[in-house]
Copies of this chain bind each other. A is one copy, B any other.
Amino acid sequence: MKKISHSAVHRLILYRKLLKIQLHTGDDYIYSHNLAQLAGRTPAQVRRDLMYVAYSGSTVRGYHIAELVKSISMFIDSPTGQGVALVGLGNLGKAILNYTVGLNPKVEVRAVFDKDPVKIGTITEGITCFDVHDLEKIIDEKNINVAIISIPSEGAQTIADRLIAAGVIGILNYSSIRLNVPENIYVENRDMMRALEKTAFLGRYFNNQVIF
């Protein structure tokens, strides 16, 4: 199996997103330098990234947008699709549902979990909220192997352990602790405070306000 860097995966997903938007603008084809500009990359970088997916552009017309989207999807998405569980239906959980539900049928949120009796049984963005007590059962029933953690730090590790034991292989972690997981489990951490501090520093850095 060939290797691919995390950042290349991230970029391919970005290209697909940008291409989907281009689909609605009328043009059938796009050149690497147009896509590069949209993505904030160089044309050569884009062409190199695209060589991961089995699709060749035309030297005259560039890339057929719809075909390229299809090729990227064949590369990135699971052929059978993947189910996603969201744990924690607070403000963040609701926002995540709002930003993700319905966008990619191959990466589909199939269940929400919470421990609050008021929330259990409600439906948000079309997804039912289950009792976190039934986590293992529902994950098995709904064939879920990806999870999003949007609960406070205290319970996060316990939930992660249960998710992994139930068959989850990828975790998007919005809690502010770092999870301890086996090495075959992928964890993507999204720490909001860390992102804010990074933005504050790099803003000054870009404006030459940092001296060291």
Binding site for B on A (CB under 8 A): 1-2, 4, 6, 9-10, 13-14, 17-18, 38-40, 52, 75-78, 82, 84, 90-92, 94-96, 98-100, 103-104, 107, 145-146, 148, 150, 168-172, 176, 178, 183-186, 188, 190-212
Q: Which of A40, A82, A203 is the most central at the interface, judged by chain B CB atoms within 10 Å of its CB?
A: A203
Instruction: Give me 21 A-to-B residue pairs in the complex whose CB atoms sit less than 8 angstroms apart, sorted by A's number.
Output: A1-B211, A2-B212, A4-B205, A4-B212, A6-B198, A10-B198, A13-B194, A13-B197, A17-B191, A52-B212, A82-B203, A91-B95, A95-B150, A100-B192, A107-B197, A146-B196, A170-B202, A170-B203, A171-B199, A186-B199, A188-B198
Complex CA gap A209/B79 in Å reads: 11
Minimal Cβ-Cβ distance residue in B for A207: B169
Minimal Cβ-Cβ distance residue in B for A210: B1
- Count of this chain's copies in the oligomeric assembly: 2
Cβ–Cβ contact B193 & A190, under 8 A: no
- Indicate whether A90 sits within 8 Å of B99 (C-beta atoms), given known contacts A170-B203, A188-B202, A207-B184: no
Q: Residues of B contacting A104 with CB < 8 Å?
A: 193, 197
